[in-house]
């Protein structure tokens, strides 16, 4: 009989001991999360420290241990602390789209169960750390859009379960190693500094996975510059002889023309040298006005008649024109080119907007920039330099940076980064036929958030820094569909334009002069932009015009009749799990387009609300992705080893 109390004693002792271990482990998780909160801050990490960590936003637990930590787009900044390694049961770590910097802390290499690591869209730097290759359970690794440098290590082959590897938009150099990862189905190293040939095992990936590097081989061009099996395409001896004869004849013709021009110049040179250029004219030397064919205009970018499209023929002031003779760069922008290089660049028209025409200029050394040729500039030179100087000093990750400008009495040019994916307007409305890739909710909400952050930053710089021309054609996109706001600060340079944006449907009802747009008027225009994202309809959509209503009134009429789902673009209706978030964003857009400015929220409030909506959506999507990863992992183990995956 004495054995029963003894057994009961040991049973109770075992339960208490187990409970203390669980409490100890959760306490360790709590300490790690509190260290993270203290190090990186963030507006949304308003955790109630008196409650269980399992109730905190972004934290998910199983069996009283933290297994998922998802804090995307939370405005976190600074360096990660050496504390996350204490989250020993963590399976998913998502810190994407913040402003975290510095190296990845080494203790993350201790997270053995980690399956998903999402760090894209931050400012992490240094080489990709070797301790990541200890994470044998990694299924998805996304380090894109950071500042990682160095070479891609062949030790990635240690991550045998890896299915996703995204490294695009970094500073990686060297060659791509041979990667023997049978499960790898998503891969991207575009827009780095890589060189050499693409390994055979990666040749089946799409070309977009390798763009923006100096790579060759399938799926890009072959490394010898020819197509496969090109023996039949080699030039015959007769063809080579014909080319040589043609070159010789061409050389003789050029020589004769030069002799003729020199003799003509000798006869009339003295008289021309004494002539003074007429007022308002700017001389362009023939070697600087580069046009593909036809007559180059002396007023700037000239349309050529050849297949080369439009070529740069920017006037460089050589007479009494005021202004600098070269480009004026901002901040720490690399001086990789000058006006002479810009004059020789080939270019093509990207679009004609309210403030001028924008060109894509490809310089001889391979640099690609966007150049806007301003029109109707009415301010003085001093005002221009002051105003454009303030624009050039504004820096934010969601604004298209102004890199340089050129001022001349007859020419005003602005040089920006080139955005290869074009504008939101083209993405939404450019191709609505068969073959179009649907624009999903995550992409649309991410674009809305990026644009809101950029505009809110402009407003935070002072009352005079309203944008004044917000519309979908001024929201440009990176290769990963991140929003960059363009054309800010230009409304204050031009003369009165009372009607353009009114016709486009973006201008607030109280605005009569584009030079005097308040931040609340910007909010109205941004509300129209949100409605455009949600409905798929442009403000000038013919269906709306036929009914004699604008986009906000059409949306409100549909919502009033409780046909809310009829408002949304058909491409969004497939995402049933985020319908509540879509409705919240729709209501925010309606609030932004209130008739009276005082009834509209501030841009900072708009940004905060979209951050909360995106955070909610990201959690739902990450949970869905985890389920898919679990299914994939179980299938992998059942095939490879017949054993279930470890937790």
Residue range 73-97, pLDDT digits in tens: 777 888 998 889 999 999 999 988 7
In a 3-state reduction of DSSP, which class is residue 638? helix
The whole-angstrom separation of Cα 25 and Cα 64 is: 8
Which residues lie closer than 8 Å to 215 by C-beta, 6 or more apart? 176, 194, 195, 196, 197, 198
Alpha carbon 499 to chain centroid, angstroms: 31
H/E stretch holding 362 reads strand 356-362
177-186, 333-342, 346-355, 366-375: least confidently modelled range? 333-342
H/E stretch holding 99 reads strand 99-102
Strands 402-407 vs 328-329: parallel, antiparallel or unpaired: antiparallel
pLDDT at 228 over 90: no
The whole-angstrom separation of Cα 260 and Cα 257 is: 5
pLDDT at 378 over 50: yes
Q: Give percent of the chain with pLDDT exceeding 70.
A: 70
- Taking CB atoms within 8 Å and a gap of at least 24, the contacts of 391-395 are 391/488, 391/489, 391/490, 392/330, 392/331, 393/330, 393/331, 394/457, 394/458, 394/461, 394/465, 394/488, 394/489, 395/331
Strand partners, 357: 352, 373
Q: Give percent of the chain with pLDDT exceeding 90.
A: 28
Buried-state track 609-622, b at ≥16 Cβ within 10 A, e below 16: bbbbbbbbbbbebb
In a 3-state reduction of DSSP, which class is residue 564? helix
242-256, 547-561, 613-627: least confidently modelled range? 613-627
447 pLDDT band (50/70/90 cuts)? very high
Strand partners, 468: none
* pLDDT for 303: 36
pLDDT at 302 over 70: no
- The CB density around residue 275, as the number of other CB atoms within 10 Å, is 7
pLDDT at 15 over 60: no
The burial class, CB within 10 Å (0-12 / 13-18 / 19+), for 285 is exposed
340 pLDDT band (50/70/90 cuts)? confident
Is residue 612 a contact partner of residue 484, using CB atoms and an 8 Å limit?
A: no
The whole-angstrom separation of Cα 140 and Cα 599 is: 45
Which residues lie closer than 8 Å to 282 by C-beta, 6 or more apart? 298, 315, 316, 317, 318, 319, 321, 408, 409, 410, 411
The whole-angstrom separation of Cα 231 and Cα 1 is: 96
Q: Which two tokens stand for residue 362?
A: 């490809």
Is residue 514 a contact partner of residue 354, using CB atoms and an 8 Å limit?
A: yes
* pLDDT for 230: 42
**What is the pLDDT averaged over residues 419-424?**
88
Per CATH, the homologous superfamily of domain 26-216 is Ribonuclease Inhibitor (3.80.10.10)
Strand partners, 151: 173
- Whether 336-620 and 26-216 are alike in CATH topology: the answer is no
Per residue in 580-599, pLDDT (tens digit) is 888 889 999 999 999 889 99
Q: Which two tokens stand for residue 483?
A: 């929003």
* pLDDT for 585: 92
pLDDT at 643 over 50: no
Which residues lie closer than 8 Å to 575 by C-beta, 6 or more apart? 440, 441, 582
135 pLDDT band (50/70/90 cuts)? very high
Is residue 283 a contact partner of residue 319, using CB atoms and an 8 Å limit?
A: yes
Nearest by Cα to 444 from 468, 470, 474, 472:
472
Higher confidence at residue 162 or residue 351?
162
Higher confidence at residue 37 or residue 434?
37
In a 3-state reduction of DSSP, which class is residue 130? helix
Strands 328-329 vs 59-62: parallel, antiparallel or unpaired: unpaired
Strand partners, 605: none
* pLDDT for 174: 94
Does the annotation list 372 as a binding residue?
Answer: yes
Strands 193-197 vs 214-216: parallel, antiparallel or unpaired: parallel
Domain ranges of the chain: 26-216, 336-620
pLDDT at 419 over 80: yes
Q: What is the 3-state secondary structure (H, E, C) of 447-495?
A: HHHHHHHHHHHHHHCCHHHCCCCCCHHHEEECCCCCEEECCCCCCCCEC
pLDDT at 319 over 50: no
Distance set, CA 100 to CA 70, 74, 315, 472 (Å) = 14, 11, 44, 29
The whole-angstrom separation of Cα 547 and Cα 476 is: 31
The whole-angstrom separation of Cα 214 and Cα 466 is: 40
**What is the pLDDT averaged over residues 606-612?**
92
Distance set, CA 566 to CA 225, 536, 571, 574, 581 (Å) = 52, 12, 12, 13, 16
Which residues lie closer than 8 Å to 130 by C-beta, 6 or more apart? 153, 155
Distance set, CA 224 to CA 193, 202, 240 (Å) = 20, 19, 20
Strands 123-127 vs 147-151: parallel, antiparallel or unpaired: parallel
- The CB density around residue 165, as the number of other CB atoms within 10 Å, is 22
Q: Give the CATH number of domain 336-620.
A: 1.10.510.10
Is the alpha carbon torsion for 466, 470, 474, 480 positive or negative? positive
Strand partners, 61: 66
Query: Peptide bond preceding 22: is omega within 30 degrees of 0, i.e. cis?
Result: no
In a 3-state reduction of DSSP, which class is residue 640? helix
Ramachandran angles phi, psi of 614, nearest 5°: -65, -35
345 φψ region: left (φ > 0), alpha (ψ -120 to 50), beta (else): beta
């Amino acid at each position: 009989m004495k054995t029963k109390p003894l057994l009961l004693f040991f049973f109770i002792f075992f339960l208490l001991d187990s409970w203390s271990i669980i409490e100890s482990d959760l306490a360790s998780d709590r300490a790690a999360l509190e260290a993270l909160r203290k190090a990186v801050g963030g507006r949304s990490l308003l955790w109630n420290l008196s409650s269980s960590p399992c109730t905190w936003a972004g934290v998910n637990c199983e069996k009283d241990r933290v297994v998922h930590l998802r804090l995307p787009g939370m405005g976190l900044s600074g360096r990660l602390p050496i504390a996350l390694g204490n989250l020993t049961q963590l399976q998913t770590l998502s810190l994407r789209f913040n402003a975290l910097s510095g190296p990845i802390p080494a203790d993350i290499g201790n997270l053995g169960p980690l399956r998903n690591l999402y760090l894209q869209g931050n400012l992490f730097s240094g080489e990709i750390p070797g301790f990541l290759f200890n994470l044998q359970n990694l299924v998805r690794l996304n380090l894109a859009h950071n500042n990682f440098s160095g070479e891609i290590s062949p030790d990635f082959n240690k991550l045998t379960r890896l299915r996703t590897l995204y490294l695009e938009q970094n500073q990686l150099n060297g060659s791509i190693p041979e990667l023997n990862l049978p499960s790898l189905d998503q891969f991207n190293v575009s827009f780095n500094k890589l060189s050499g040939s693409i390994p055979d095992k990666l040749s089946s990936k799409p070309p977009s996975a390798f763009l923006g590097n100096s790579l060759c081989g399938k799926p890009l061009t072959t490394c010898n510059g020819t197509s496969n099996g090109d023996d039949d395409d080699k030039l015959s001896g007769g063809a080579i002889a014909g080319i040589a004869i043609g070159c010789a004849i061409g050389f003789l013709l050029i020589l004769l023309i030069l002799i003729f021009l020199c003799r003509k110049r000798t006869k009339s040179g003295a008289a021309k040298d004494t002539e003074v250029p007429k007022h308002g004219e700017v001389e362009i030397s023939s070697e600087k006005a580069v046009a593909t064919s036809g007559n180059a205009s002396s007023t700037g970018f000239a349309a050529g008649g050849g297949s080369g499209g439009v070529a740069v023929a920017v006037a460089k002031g050589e007479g009494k024109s005021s202004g600098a003779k070269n480009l004026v760069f901002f901040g720490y922008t690399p001086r990789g080119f000058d006006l002479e290089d810009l004059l020789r660049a080939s270019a093509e028209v990207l679009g004609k907007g309210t403030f001028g025409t924008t060109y894509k200029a490809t310089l001889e050394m391979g640099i690609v920039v966007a150049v806007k040729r301003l029109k109707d500039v009415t301010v003085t030179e001093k005002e221009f330099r002051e105003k454009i100087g303030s624009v050039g000093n504004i820096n934010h990750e969601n604004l298209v940076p102004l890199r340089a400008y050129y001022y001349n009495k007859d020419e005003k040019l602005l040089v920006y980064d080139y955005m290869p994916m074009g504008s939101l307007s083209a993405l939404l409305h450019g191709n609505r036929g068969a073959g179009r890739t649907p624009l999903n909710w995550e992409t649309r909400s991410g674009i809305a958030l990026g644009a809101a952050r950029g505009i809110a930053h402009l407003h935070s710089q002072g009352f005079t820094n309203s944008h004044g021309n917000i519309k979908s054609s001024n929201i440009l996109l990176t290769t990963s569909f991140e929003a960059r706001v363009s054309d800010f600060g230009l409304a204050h340079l031009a003369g009165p334009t009372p009607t353009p944006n009114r016709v486009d449907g973006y201008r607030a009802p109280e605005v009569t002069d584009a030079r005097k747009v308040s931040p609340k008027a910007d909010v109205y225009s941004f509300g129209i932009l949100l409605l455009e994202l949600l409905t798929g309809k442009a403000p000038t959509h013919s269906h709306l015009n036929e009914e004699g209503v604008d986009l906000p009134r059409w949306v409100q009429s549909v919502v009033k009749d409780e046909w809310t789902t009829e408002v949304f673009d058909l491409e969004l209706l497939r995402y049933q799990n985020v319908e509540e978030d879509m409705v919240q964003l729709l209501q925010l857009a309606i609030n932004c387009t209130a008739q009276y400015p005082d009834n509209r929220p501030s841009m900072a409030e708009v940004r905060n609300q979209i951050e909360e909506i995106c955070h909610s959506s990201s959690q739902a999507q990450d949970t869905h992705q985890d389920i898919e990863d679990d299914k994939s992992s179980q299938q992998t183990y059942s095939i490879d080893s017949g054993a279930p995956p470890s937790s």
